[in-house]
Structure 1
Amino acid sequence: MEIVRDERGGATVVRDGHPQSYVDLDDPELLVFEYVEHLALVLGALRPDPAPLAVTHVGGAGMTLARWVHRTHPGSPQIVLEPDAALTELVRRELPLPRGHRIRVRPQRGEEGVTGLRDGSADVVVVDAYDEGRVPGALAGQAFAAELARVVAPDGLVLVNGADLPGLRWAARLGATLRTVLPHVGQLVLREVATGKRYGNVVLVASPRPLDDVTLTRHAARATFPTRWRTSAELARAERGVRPFGDVGEPSPPPPDSGPLRLR
């Protein structure tokens, strides 16, 4: 693992040879990875009030989104489940967390850490955890989905950053899996990924309550890169007959050689 700094004053956290996070200590609202912008876009659209949010992050790396939440929702109590203690130590030393933060990092795997959380204790759960460039199968199955549904508040949000090949078959199965316990599941995705032009990230948004499609569509239209919001109803029709994963899912497809990073 390493931290690669650039001439813009930011730093990229690299693990297993894959870029994990981009951090600008002077500007936590600068989000250069497409999928991180999408995660923040959902929160900005559906939780615009700057009041504190109780957020649990499955996967930490540089804690870019946790820093963003601290800036945009001051005082938010946040839990970060990051099993790689050496990575956390490196980030804390080289990219220290902001003063006054309420971010607690626990050296636990996602499935272990979420199981230990109280029912309804999180306004938002963000699952953004990769192992050698793939979402672990344990974080894609019905057992983990049931734990997410238990932990999230009745009006809360579950955000999952996945990645898939053209056709988005793995993402469809993950969506079907989440829908077994959280009835409303939409997708925020780059248009070129949605249309099958390339491998890419897919942010799934799941909730016990209906999602505000109008607001999400409007915010997606203002994203840095051309982005689509795929509604829960649209996905439910497209995924009719798609088989959910079992108790333990399958890892997401491995990424191709990604080449240079695409940053804002």
Structure 2
Amino acid sequence: MGKREVRLMDDGHVVLLDGRPQSHVDLDDPTRLVFDYVRRLGDVVDAIGEPGAPLRVVHVGGAGLSLPRYVAATRPGSRQTVLEPDEELTALVRRELPLPPRSGIKVRPVDGRAGVRALPDGRADLLVLDAYDDGLVPPELLTAPALADVARVLAPTGVALLNVVDRAPFPVIRSTVAGLRAVLPQLAAGMEPATRRARRPGNVLLLAGTGPVPVDAWRARSSTGLSPYQVLDGAQVSSSFGGGTPAADPDTAC
């Protein structure tokens, strides 16, 4: 098992696994999201539904619970379920970075695939997939059956938000886009321009739903950031990341 630790920094606390930063937490201001990609996730949360209205959220991956804390602070009354299999990490975070009282955040010690499979239909207004193993999303979370389960647990107007790291020619993104399109046909994507232009690997956020996704609201929030960011609508996603094939589970792959 990896080494888990929480370090106090000048601007807050950082959760590390084997020396690799996993989360930044500001206990005094949970709305301050320091990691850029987490700030971008927060932009999407802000763009969904009515501003400040509570949401039913499922998080696949927890670490320091930065985004759940943000949702609890900006959308009081939200009910959040976090699927985090690393019980030792969760215990450390609860001890060193305790959640506020009545946060509405529940952490389940289960891996994302099994945890999503066990959820009832229509459970979530928002499902956030932000899980990593050695810097990559576990492949079993991005197969066609896994994405079909993601679609199943969404409410009729719910959306899924996936954070995927990839680099040109974007095999993982192309496969995931194809898998999402089969079950959640409305799609948008966000990334740094340098990632889209294949200059370096990076985080690509995929936002998908059965109905329209808030592309314009997401773009408006992204334009206020300190670094350049692009939000692509469905046609632009197809142009940039089309042509993939949904991934099969290993036991069903030919």
Asked if TM exceeds 0.5, the reply is yes
Aligned-pair CA distance for 1:124:
0.4
2:230 and 2:24 map into 1 onto residues whose CA distance is: 23
* Percent of residue pairs bearing the same amino acid type: 42
Task: In structure 1, list runs of 5 or more residues that go unmatched.
Answer: 250-264
Report the residue type matching 2:124 in the other structure.
Answer: A
Aligned-pair CA distance for 1:180:
1.1
Alignment counterpart, residue 221 of structure 1, candidates 220, 223, 228: 223
Partner residue, 2:153: 151
1:192-233 CA-to-partner distances (Å, cap 9, x unmatched) read 212222111111111111223222222221123211001112
Secondary structure of the corresponding residue to residue 216 of structure 1? helix
Partner residue, 2:10: 7
1:81-115 CA-to-partner distances (Å, cap 9, x unmatched) read 00000000000000000122111110000011111
State the Cα RMSD in Å.
1.5
Aligned-pair CA distance for 1:43:
1.4
Aligned-pair CA distance for 1:248:
5.2
Range moving further from structure 2, 125-134 or 186-195? 186-195
2:52 and 2:185 map into 1 onto residues whose CA distance is: 27
Partner residue, 1:165: 167
Alignment counterpart, residue 55 of structure 2, candidates 47, 53, 56: 53
| TM-score normalised by length of structure 2 | 0.93
Aligned residues: 248
Report the residue type matching 1:117 in the other structure.
Answer: L
Distance 1:239 1:202, change over 3 A: closer
Partner residue, 1:261: none
Alignment counterpart, residue 188 of structure 1, candidates 169, 187, 190: 190
1:131 and 1:110 map into 2 onto residues whose CA distance is: 12
1:166 and 1:242 map into 2 onto residues whose CA distance is: 13
2:140 and 2:38 map into 1 onto residues whose CA distance is: 22
1:180 and 1:248 map into 2 onto residues whose CA distance is: 19
Report the residue type matching 1:174 in the other structure.
Answer: T
Higher relative contact order (CA 8 A, sep 6+): 1
Aligned-pair CA distance for 1:11:
0.9
1:104-253 matches, cutoff 5 A: 104-247=106-249
1:244 and 1:209 map into 2 onto residues whose CA distance is: 21
Secondary structure of the corresponding residue to residue 230 of structure 2? strand
| TM-score normalised by length of structure 1 | 0.90
Given that residues 159 and 213 in structure 2 are in contact (C-alpha distance below 8 angstroms), is that contact kept between their aligned partners in structure 1?
no
Report the residue type matching 2:166 in the other structure.
Answer: D
Alignment counterpart, residue 105 of structure 2, candidates 99, 103, 106: 103
Report the residue type matching 1:2 in the other structure.
Answer: E
1:247-262 matches, cutoff 5 A: 247=249
